[in-house]
Amino acid sequence: MHRRKFLKASAVFSAGAAGAYALPLLTAFKSNAAAPASTKLRWGMVIDLTRCPANCTACVDACKKENNVNTSGDKLRDIYRIRKVTLESTLSAAPVQKSVPLLCNHCDNPPCALACPIKATTKRDDGIVIVDPHRCMGCRYCMIACPYNARHFHFRENTEQPNPAYPKRHHGVSESCNLCAHLLDQGKRPACVEACANVNAQALTVGNLNDPNSEISMLIRNHPVKRLREELGTEPKVFYIGL
Amino acid sequence: MAIEFKTEFKPIEGKSKSFYLLTFMLAGLVLAGAYATWMMDRHGLYLSGMNNRIPWGLPIVMAVFYIGLSAGSLVISSLYGVFGKLEYKPFARVATFMALLLMVGGLLSILSDQGRLDRVLVEPFLHFNPLSMLSINPFLYSAYILICTVYLCVLMMGNEKWTKRLAVVAVLWAILVHSGTGAIFGLVPRGMYKSPLLPPSFIVAALSSGTALMILIILGLFRLTKRPLDTKPILWIGRLLGVFIVGVVYFVFIENAHRYYLVETRAAEHYFLFGGFHSLLFWVGMVLVGAVVPTTILFGRKSGDSIPWVAAAAVMVVAGVLCERYLIVIPGLSHPPDLVPGWRITQSAVEEGIVGYCPTSYEVVQALGVVALIGLTFIWGLKLLKLLPTEAKI
């Protein structure tokens, strides 16, 4: 084959391939952009670390019970929708410690939803990033894509079901916090927030970020807040006070 | 242009005791691999060495490896198909067949690695996410398998015009396949993964491992079937392989230097270069055995013209690229991301530090099963189809 002919064929081929792909791609990116301001609901969470007691795991325990996520002490394969970690400052010479709950950040630009090949992970209109366990085929690409290590996988069959009102998942699917969407949809608070209030800590607040008068909007307005790894542009909706 | 030159193709006999022994051994391995896959699907992936921090392990490493080998095989075939080099016509069929099988192996590796095997062949067709690299790629792979099949048919029918056309399509599609495979890793927000260089570097690594494998296959087949072989074209492929390795080294150097230079990835890169077993794989497996020694051999005045030396270099390159594949997938996951800058995690219910990965016997048997399936189909293809020429002489 002559070189000119080969180059010509390559050019036509690349143009065709790019064109065929461009259209669905453009529309798909559009739907992935940040939620429009007209949406009434946009859930977010504020975690006030100044009120979060160091040895308290009420939120973690409540979450496990509500969502039927059981753990067996395997640090590498246990599932935590929300977990508590102890942080130590690397900046100051004197050891400063903080106890911090980590969970799915429900990003406005979720890399996990972008990565999911079958749209089993999606961002709802109200901003909650949610996994459909009936669709997930367990490719684990979302875990690779999540910059927060907030995604865990059902390596084992889930045997316990402390909450009969909520289904348990088969092994082989991905799992992450969905802000207890099933409770929020009924007008109730997520299990972790409820538990935190019940132990009188009230460090966790869930609310509508689009309502300027909601408790969460006021907290964000009146306190210096931080989000995790903001430089990635994922636009997390979990805000930390006192980090 | 007008040199008419006939290459006669003849199936291998395949009646010897050793042929059937090999068939039974490979079939046994395939069954064992299927059993391992079934066990992991039945009981859960805790049977593998994978975990929440390293969710991808040996199956993905092997898949990427097969896919690379596949493209390289196709290059050998394209020397005749695209560039019209008649001295490579004898190898075109067997190279295309190998390319086809390796891609099937790659796809099979990925498919059998899923957590829910019952959904793998259903959900992607119902809910296609056009933005996910993991849905673009299986599409590219299956189309590639189709293109290779048609290309092989046309090659076997001896239709020159369509051979050239399809060879061009196949080569261009192979470039897409490799860019796509590199993008699976290059397009996620992880310090050790994200890089626009991964797609092109995948293409070069694929070319080097694939040509190396084809050198070994061609030499092995002609020796085993005692068919006469002119070694000159093989030595030329050897030189080509040398050039490809230099390309791989260039990309690997640029990527690692970039990560070491920038402060944000320096800790992870330091761990990569000097942090444990994988560093040994990098320096010894990939740099020394995979690049330095083979290029010295291939560009050496005497060794580059000696078939045993070229074959030895080819073995080293295949091993080196396998190391490279492992090094792309695993160490990038085992070093933790800096979740809260300025703070160190001292206590957690889950593992937050550096995590190791060691494949379990289930994964190893599963990987061997895929290799065996490729091998089994290959030897029976040689027996049933006219893939191998009676001689390869100019």
Q: Note whether B344 contacts A139, CB cutoff 8 Å.
A: no
pLDDT number for residue B2: 39
Does A32 score more than 70 pLDDT? no
B264 falls in which pLDDT band (50, 70, 90)? Answer: confident
Query: The pTM is what?
Result: 0.91
**How close does chain B come to A90, measured CA to CA in Å?**
5
Three-state secondary structure call for residue A239: strand
Three-state secondary structure call for residue A89: strand
Residue B170, CB half-sphere, CA atoms under 13 Å: how many?
36
Q: Which two tokens stand for residue B385?
A: 């189809």
Are B71 and B244 within 8 A, CB to CB? no
Task: Report how far residue B127's alpha carbon sits from residue B137's, in angstroms, rounded to the nearest whole number.
Answer: 15
Q: Which two tokens stand for residue A1?
A: 């084959």
pLDDT number for residue A27: 59
Please give the average per-residue pLDDT across A119-148, as a whole number: 95
pLDDT tens figures, B118-145: 999 899 889 989 999 999 999 999 999 9
Residue from the list B119, B127, B189 with its beta carbon closest to the beta carbon of A111: B189
Please give the average per-residue pLDDT across A227-234, as a whole number: 94
Q: List the beta bridge partners of residue A175.
A: A152
Does A110 score more than 50 pLDDT? yes
Enter the DSSP assignment of B47.
Answer: G
A32 touching B, CB under 8 A? yes
Predicted complex ipTM: 0.92
User: Residue B163: which of B181, B175, B150 has the closest Cα?
Assistant: B150
Does A62 score more than 80 pLDDT? yes
Identify how many contiguous H helices and E strands chain A contains and give both numbers.
Answer: 7, 10
Task: Report how far residue A172's alpha carbon sits from residue B45's, in angstroms, rounded to the nearest whole number.
Answer: 7
Query: In sequence order, which residues have a C-beta less than 8 Å from that of residue A69 and are 6 or more positions away?
Result: A63, A79, A80, A81, A158, A175
When mean pLDDT is compared across A16-20, A67-71, B131-135, B255-259, the lowest value belongs to: A16-20
Are B345 and A70 within 8 A, CB to CB? no
What burial class does residue A172 get, using C-beta atoms within 10 Å of its C-beta: 0-12 exposed, 13-18 middle, 19+ buried? Answer: buried
Q: List the beta bridge partners of residue A101.
A: A84
Residues in chain B: 394
Q: Which two tokens stand for residue A50?
A: 């100044």
B114 touching A, CB under 8 A? yes
Three-state secondary structure call for residue A73: coil
User: Residue B67: which of B41, B37, B88, B98 has the closest Cα?
Assistant: B98
Question: Which residues of chain A are within 8 Å of residue B132 when distances are taken between CB atoms?
Answer: 114-117, 141
Does A26 score more than 80 pLDDT? no
pLDDT tens figures, B311-363: 999 999 999 999 999 999 999 899 999 899 889 999 999 999 999 999 999 99
- Tell me, what amino acid is at B206? A
- Tell me, what amino acid is at A12? V
Q: Note whether A144 contacts B120, CB cutoff 8 Å.
A: no
Q: Strand A97-103 relative to strand A238-241: parallel, antiparallel, unpaired?
A: unpaired
Query: In sequence order, which residues have a C-beta less than 8 Å from that of residue A67 and are 6 or more positions away?
Result: A81, A163, A166, A180, A191
Task: Report how far residue B261's alpha carbon sits from residue B113's, in angstroms, rounded to the nearest whole number.
Answer: 35
Q: Which residue of A has its CA nearest to B332?
A: A144
Q: If phi over 0 gives left and psi between -120 and 50 gives alpha, with beta otherwise, what is residue A202?
A: left
Substitution target in A25, A103, A137, A227 with the highest count of B β-carbons within 10 Å is: A137
Task: Report how far residue B30's alpha carbon sits from residue B372's, in angstroms, rounded to the nearest whole number.
Answer: 6
**How close does chain B come to A176, measured CA to CA in Å?**
12
**Averaged pLDDT of chain B:** 92
Task: Report how far residue A66's alpha carbon sits from residue A196's, in angstroms, rounded to the nearest whole number.
Answer: 14
Q: Which residue of A has its CA nearest to B188?
A: A145
Please give the average per-residue pLDDT across B50-56, as a whole number: 95
Residue from the list B56, B138, B172 with its beta carbon closest to the beta carbon of A140: B56
Residue with the two structure tokens 């008068």: A213
Percent of the residues in chain B that have a pLDDT greater than 70, as a whole number: 98
Please give the average per-residue pLDDT across B113-121, as a whole number: 93
pLDDT number for residue A196: 96
Does A143 score more than 90 pLDDT? yes
Does B77 score more than 90 pLDDT? no
- Give the other-Cβ count within 10 Å of B33's Cβ: 23
Residue with the two structure tokens 């990635």: A232
A94 falls in which pLDDT band (50, 70, 90)? Answer: confident
Residue from the list B119, B164, B348 with its beta carbon closest to the beta carbon of A85: B348
pLDDT number for residue B84: 81
Does B5 score more than 60 pLDDT? no
Are B373 and B33 within 8 A, CB to CB? yes
pLDDT tens figures, B163-222: 988 999 999 999 999 999 999 999 999 888 989 999 999 999 999 999 999 999 999 999
pLDDT number for residue A25: 63
pLDDT number for residue B36: 97
Name the helix (H) or strand (E) containing A105.
none
A24 falls in which pLDDT band (50, 70, 90)? Answer: low
What are the C-alpha distances in Å from A72 to residues A107, A222, B42, B86?
A: 29, 41, 19, 64
A72 falls in which pLDDT band (50, 70, 90)? Answer: confident
What burial class does residue B275 get, using C-beta atoms within 10 Å of its C-beta: 0-12 exposed, 13-18 middle, 19+ buried? Answer: middle
Task: Report how far residue B221's alpha carbon sits from residue B335's, in angstroms, rounded to the nearest whole number.
Answer: 43
User: Residue A227: which of A1, A12, A44 has the closest Cα?
Assistant: A44
Q: Note whether B340 contacts A243, CB cutoff 8 Å.
A: yes
Q: Note whether A29 contacts B193, CB cutoff 8 Å.
A: no
Enter the DSSP assignment of B189.
Answer: S
Does B96 score more than 60 pLDDT? yes
Residue from the list A74, A144, A229 with its beta carbon closest to the beta carbon of B55: A144
Are A142 and A175 within 8 A, CB to CB? no
Alpha carbon B103 to its chain centroid, in Å, reads 8
Please give the average per-residue pLDDT across B36-63, as a whole number: 95
What burial class does residue B74 get, using C-beta atoms within 10 Å of its C-beta: 0-12 exposed, 13-18 middle, 19+ buried? Answer: buried
Q: Note whether B134 contacts A136, CB cutoff 8 Å.
A: no
pLDDT number for residue B341: 86
